Structure 1
């Protein structure tokens, strides 16, 4: 697929039907689904309690900043110790932290206290996205089947980034308690991560990693920054940051635009439709040949996405939800190609023994982008109305220009196959 060869339906069946894949795939579906629910669920929860998008955006941003830092630290830890035991400890800490932030919000604690609770909760949110992706090197051989597996990971993650916020919005608006969405997200995270950590494939990978470290095998990229020191991976992370910035802006902006038009429930419906369009576009994208150069693909896709979300913001004051929906669906068609390119970019630029950390850096960049997009759009919407979220699309377009200047950094690394891997 990096070379432009399309995946076929049989490649996807071979990946998902590989021996030992069923349990971790199902578990990771549950555990990864809330990745984009947490921030918006928290934002809407605090917005209902405090009555301010600015305060809600600040708390949501604190949660996402904590998630960003925790994801990187967890990625390196899971690469060194294996995913099984550390994930179980992280899940326990996360359950306590969620109880703490809900208590702070319900008691209307001082803003610094709630911000600290959000930061802590985010830092211990289980980061199984990188482990789920890295596990495929143990389950399927290198080639089209593994690339189909990575595309599946990208499509599913993109679905979670779009469908998760839609569900969060529907639960926050349609249930008596505004914290319902946050509770649902937490329960899914705890259940899915615990199951994932206990599956045979994950425990076997953990045992192999521990044995490798015990035997004195190199620990991959070291130092404070670890694998992110690689220029190509920094380019992929920058693309993910820009994507998150634009997507986070659009999520809050669409909800504000539909509320301003007198149909607040339509926000969740439009986000759900956005998910459907993006998934369909992702399937079609995976079935067709693509240009070889990720260095070209990343800026072009992000630039188009940013321009279309800018257009969404500019048409919002018109009050026509039909026009907003048309532009929004066009933007949605560019989501999965970007997330797929990010996933392939990790394969393209990072060594296998740092795969979890590398992918978690990319997830972290996306989460930071979503955080910034939600926070900035919240402030601008409070000040200027729904049109304010057009600024996020413009910022994403500027990031695309920067990506264009870094396209030469996407030359692939060359490494030997690790012993004991299906790679």
Structure 2
């Protein structure tokens, strides 16, 4: 299977019959993915006056997302995406409404944290469903690889726009505006996505039952999850340390700008990387990309000025989207097709847990040891996990050992694939 793509493959993927409405609606659903959590944090802080309570609510929301990604993915794999998404959206509306009412009525911090977790748990995982849908829309090969690259690149764009919108909307007359607006976009986009013909006609694929860990039961999937964890930890350290540098320099607002910089370089290079990936063997990409990224974070610890930090972030940032794309593409190798949505959920969970661990540890180091130590710890942690992934690289090279051979991603295609594609049109 080819794991490279030409620029023309992006056009082919996005203009494939049946892909138009899912692409458009998933854009609206995923746009607030990095906005709702931050908007909720800023909203709680504004209303309670406490960063501690706001941080706890944010942690609760991240925990909910980490759990919800796997649970929703597993259900969608077994039931198809439409009904689970519609049910989740309904629960999400209730959770957001309850959270806003709790903030407005001055409920206790415990209640706010629990509701924050419920908001995260019920956020509809359209990203996972959208990624899995490409299996039904385009054939394996460069076009599908381009589709996965598009998913990673578009998500990175949302991680640039989301925090910026949250920062602007918190200054609105009502501080909860960002939470509600983000929730509305997510609800409308998710319902629209779930009801598109291509999504409604997706049927679950039978896989062997009885695996408590689901997709994570496969050794290769555990390797992907480990790489995603290392990626999340490294990014989490930096996301706390960079604003600390800007604040120490007396230019606190530049913290967000600096974080946007490495996302911009990530998106720009991500397009090129999909065409010219390196290393070529898939089982080498996970450890090499993570290790290179982690090593390039270390120069951020050099105490010079904000310009140097900006340059260092631009250089390190080019390796963000390539990792996200590789995580998504490697799922085709390490997990059966019938568990693809849940498998992607494990990637989301691993990154989220890594972010939470990186945030908390980096905050401690910044306050008690010094800002440079946070960057060095990020580099060390990412490098260590890259070494562990390298030691497990053979689990990526091996085919999935699944008793349902027809469901293996490396198996021969169905003898008559046209009905599946036609159903998506």
TM-score, reference length from structure 2: 0.88
1:75: Cα distance to partner? 0.6
Q: Structure 2 vs 1, CA of residues 303 and 175 (structure 1 numbering), >3 Å: closer, same or farther? A: farther
The alignment partner of 1:63 has SS state of helix
The aligned runs of 1:100-139 (5 Å cut-off) are: 100-139=98-137
Q: Does 1:356 align with 2:345?
A: no
Q: Compare 267-276 and 297-306 and name the one that shifted more.
A: 267-276
* Residue 285 (structure 1) shift: 0.8
Return the match for 2:23 from 16, 22, 25: 25
When the two structures are aligned, how many residues end up with a matched partner? Answer: 408
Find the aligned partners of 1:253 and 1:132 in 2 and give their Cα distance. 33
Instruction: Give the direction of change, closer, same or farther, for the CA distance of 1:62–1:73 in structure 2 (3 Å limit).
Output: same
Residue 52 of structure 1: how far off its partner (Å):
5.3
Q: Tell me which residue corresponds to 1:150.
A: 148
- Do the aligned residues in 2 keep the contact of 1:253 with 1:386 (CA within 8 Å)? yes
Match of 2:192 in 1: 195
Matching of residues 73-222 of structure 1 within 5 Å: 73-172=71-170, 174-205=171-202, 208-209=203-204, 218-220=206-208, 222=210
8 Å CA contact 1:221–1:354 kept in 2: the answer is no
- What's the CA shift for 1:3? 4.6
Residue 253 of structure 1: how far off its partner (Å): 2.6
SS in 1 for 2:201: helix
CA contact (8 A) 1:62 1:118 kept: yes
Q: Does 1:284 align with 2:272?
A: yes
Q: Is the 8 A contact 2:64 2:117 kept in 1?
A: yes
Partner of 1:415: 411
What is the TM-score of this pair, normalised by structure 1?
0.88
Q: Distance in 2 between matches of 1:402 and 1:55?
A: 36
**Residue in 1 aligned with 2:388?**
402
Contact 1:28 1:192 in 2 (8 A): yes
SS at match of 2:94: helix
Query: CA distance change for structure 1 residues 289 and 60 in 2, over 3 Å: closer, same or farther?
Result: closer
Query: How far has the Cα of 1:248 moved from its partner?
Result: 2.6
CA-to-aligned-CA distance 1:45-82 (integer Å, 9 cap, x gap): 44445555554333212111111111111111111111
Q: Alpha carbons of 1:375 and 1:103: their partners in 2 closer, same or farther (altered >3 Å)?
A: farther
Q: Which moved more, 1:324-333 or 1:383-392?
A: 383-392
Residue 30 of structure 1 and its aligned partner are, at CA, apart by 1.3
| Paired residue secondary structure (1:347) | helix
CA contact (8 A) 1:27 1:193 kept: yes
Task: Confirm or deny that 1:369 pairs with 2:366.
Answer: no
CA displacement 1:321-359 (0-9 Å, x = unmatched): 211111111111110110111011111111111111111
CA distance in 2 between partners of 1:290 and 1:39 (Å): 34
Q: Does 1:59 align with 2:47?
A: no
Distance 1:159 1:135 in 2: 20
Q: How does 1:291-306 map to 2 (within 5 A)?
A: 291-306=279-294
Q: Which moved further from structure 2: 384-393 or 398-407?
A: 384-393
TM-superposition CA deviations, 1:251-302 (whole Å, max 9, x none):
2332332233222222232233322211111011112143232332212211
Query: Please, what is the CA RMSD of the aligned residues?
Result: 2.5
Partners of 1:336 and 1:125 in 2: CA distance: 23
User: Is the Cα contact below 8 Å between 2:242 and 2:255 reproduced in 1?
Assistant: yes
Structure 2 gaps of 5+ residues are 401-409
Q: Which stretch has the larger CA shift, 355-364 or 156-165? A: 156-165
Give 1:106 shift.
4.1
User: 1:333 and 2:331 equivalent?
Assistant: no
Distance (Å, rounded) in 2 between the aligned partners of 1:114 and 1:384: 31
Q: Distance in 2 between matches of 1:58 and 1:311?
A: 31
Q: Distance in 1 between matches of 2:363 and 2:27?
A: 30
Task: Name the CA distance, whole Å, in 2 between partners of 1:286 and 1:257.
Answer: 33
Gaps of 5+ in 1: 213-217
Distance 1:55 1:400, change over 3 A: farther
Q: Against the structure 1 CA distance between its residues 262 and 351, is the aligned structure 2 distance closer, same or farther, given a 3 Å change threshold?
A: same
Does structure 2 retain, via aligned residues, the 8 Å contact 1:295–1:406?
no
Paired residue secondary structure (2:250): coil
**Conserved in 1, the CA contact under 8 Å of 2:2 and 2:142?**
no
How many Å separate the matches in 2 of 1:140 and 1:243? 29
- Tell me what 1:10 maps to: 8
Structure 1 residues 171 and 327, CA, compared in 2 at 3 Å: closer, same or farther?
farther
